[in-house]
A and B are shown apart, each in its own frame.
Chain A
């Protein structure tokens, strides 16, 4: 049994299907990537998994339990934590307090919550910012604050929604380091990204969405050579030219 099993998920907004019959698995202890061009339906699928949308059809099983349609707080309680693509710090609270809110999911004691929060801040390179008001952080720090806060809830599966988007190359390197350290700590991660360079080096498996449908899945090296993926990212014409020139679809 996989930690997360997505089966035949369709999400419609009126007549528009943002996701159509998407299925994939995330194995425990791995980093899975969910990629696709802009508008592919990645964030919608992500919101279905995290409980922000109730899918129109299909099933989402987490740790053996059906979670499709559960409210976000219940999903979080089961051990599935998310970050937001557009960072959402609790602006008027300090970084430590932000992370403590997450930690309070597993303990009612402020002292314990504080200890957990301090550890999570440190693992995201934010120890020096504990007392700072979250609204005043740089975007790179805010992105890592999102992760620290989600970590504090003690998740089994961490959902990262474009954690790399908008970061400088230094910040991307820091973020990659954070995500790698999470996996070595035994955490399972599902990352939504549209920057290929950010995800190829760290993901164990990748699922590619295009126009709301899954068009490819597998290990990163194979997925990036898949003609359907190349066509989705670069356009059919260019992919065909590449194929004719025999240059392959090197990313």
Chain B
């Protein structure tokens, strides 16, 4: 069996183990289950971002906008149209892809940091727009009505198991897709564009198109995560979804875990989310924003000592172990 196939099997086994957690009573109504759901959702978000920010090397600070479009899509379907959230989630994903292409079209033609700057501006524009837009609830946002627990309503009031499986499904979708793309032509093209756009072009790679496709896919997946987020919180407002804070969540988790790697987003989420959730829960009495201070500190230390993220730490630990055992 090749190394790659072995690693595929290991990931599948890991996914199966995650699917069994509720069956053995590890997922219920408690805070631990909330953290698990957040880890899965955040890993999916970071992996969606990783597609364009990591593999294609185009750092976007605008993913909270796509996330927000997805969140509002689901929320509007439920609160205003009185339907299930599903059509709203799909429409949100499609709209997010369109917005991503509209941002990418003018900025991807330019080299350098124009794309990053444009995405930064996008967040501010979208935030203000949604704040003032009464049809989507303005600054107050949208509050969900009380609905019956069901998959159609994507609502479970008594236990987190439904949400857990929902987050797991999204994570599997995003990670599975990236896994497939990694070894396909598109995955090679993404990395080629990151490593050298002129080189990629010389080999027949239409770099703008590759970046646009990555961006559209990444945005649509981020929007699905956003729909889940609205369902999970049972409300949405501009500050909680379309903000630089939320954008940084996409970026930092991927960077902390290991940018441009498959396992990185999951590692980043598995470390950062518990750190954030528990510090928020237990250190809140020290004042607001303590969790963010810790968050920032971890990032600074990581950038200083291991820019390749947690994955980099694991790799060097493994190399050290091997040396210790006297292999190569």
Interface residues, chain B, with chain A CB atoms under 8 Å away: 183-185, 188-189, 191-192, 195-196, 198-207
Contact = CB atoms under 8 A, between A and B. Distances in A.
B188 A101 contact: yes
Contacts of B185: 104, 108, 110, 113
B203 A110 contact: no
Nearest to B192: A101
A53 interface: no
Q: Which 9 A-B pairs have the closest CB atoms?
A: A90-B195, A76-B204, A105-B204, A72-B201, A102-B203, A88-B199, A101-B192, A104-B185, A73-B206
Interface in A91-134: 91-93, 97, 100-102, 104-105, 108, 110, 113
Contact of A153 (B184, B198, B203): B203
Nearest to A149: B203
Contacts, number: 79
B202 A76 contact: yes
Contacts of A52: 198
A97 to B, nearest CB: 7
**Chain B, interface SS category:** helix
Contacts of A100: 188
Contacts of B205: 73, 101, 105
Interface residues of A, number: 32
Contact of A90 (B191, B201, B204, B207): B191
A77 interface: yes
A233 interface: no
B195 A105 contact: no
A150 interface: yes
Given A73-B201, A92-B195, 5 more contacts: A71-B201, A92-B191, A97-B191, A110-B183, A113-B188
Contact of A110 (B184, B200, B202, B204): B184
A172 B188 CA distance: 31
Nearest to A71: B201
B192 A50 contact: no
B72 to A, nearest CB: 37
Contacts of A97: 188, 191
B200 A101 contact: yes
Interface string A30-58: 00000000000000000000111000000
